[in-house]
Amino acid sequence: MWGNYKMKKILLMLLFATFLFGGAILAATGGDQAKDDEYDEDEYGPADPIIWVKPVKSVVFEHKIHTMEAGLDCDSCHDDLFEMEAGVAEENDDFTMESLYDGGYCGSCHDGDTAFASDTRCTACHIGVRGHTRLVGEEEMPSH
């Protein structure tokens, strides 16, 4: 009997703990959402990721990571490295890894000093066809 009672007590405590953890998780997700709402496009640049499909599908750039999180100013990129218009860079013939390795475009920071080097962590920038489809959807996938 006593053992049984103890069992029940333990079960109750487990249940309680589960509730607590559940609450914590819920709270955490709630907090994240609040942060998203806080994101100010005027201060940090466009919220939507910029996606390039040329020369290869697909590379993603997020203002949020660079401005809000890494604390970069607008003029560290605009308008020396990039125009303030999505899709301009990908029209250039030299928008390639070669240029990045030579310090052009993203490579001016992603050189291993300011930020991680362009010849590492390929999939940090490259989301590929799969990532593209996930972000944009199948229909809008441009066919070459």
* SS (HEC) of 71-121: CCCHHHCECCCECCCCCCHHHCCCCCHHHHHCCCHHHHCCCCCCCCCCCCC
- The piece of 11-19, 23-31, 40-48, 129-137 that touches ligand HEC (CB under 6 A) is 40-48
Two structure tokens written together for 85: 């218009």
State the DSSP H helix or E strand holding residue 61, giving kind and residue range, or none if neither.
strand 59-61
Contact residue for another protein among 12, 16, 122, 142 (CB under 8 A): 122
Q: Which does 136 bind (CB under 5 to 8 A by kind): ligand HEC, another protein, none?
A: none
Q: Contact letters (x/-) for another protein, 65-104, by CB under 8 A? A: ----------------------------------------
Question: Is residue 21 close enough to count as binding another protein by CB under 8 A?
Answer: no
Instruction: Classify residue 109 by burial, with Cβ atoms within 10 Å: 0-12, 13-18, 19+.
Output: buried
Question: Is residue 78 close enough to count as binding ligand HEC by CB under 6 A?
Answer: yes
* Of the candidates 39, 50, 57, the residue with the CA atom closest to the CA atom of residue 105: 50
Two structure tokens written together for 105: 């475009």
**Contact by Cβ (8 Å): 27, 34:** no
Q: Which residues of this protein are in contact with another protein, per CB under 8 A? A: 55-58, 121-124, 126-131, 144
Q: Which residues of this protein are in contact with ligand HEC, per CB under 6 A? A: 44-46, 50, 52-56, 58-59, 61, 63, 65-67, 70, 72, 74, 76-78, 81-90, 95-98, 100, 105-106, 108-110, 114-116, 118-119, 121-122, 124-126
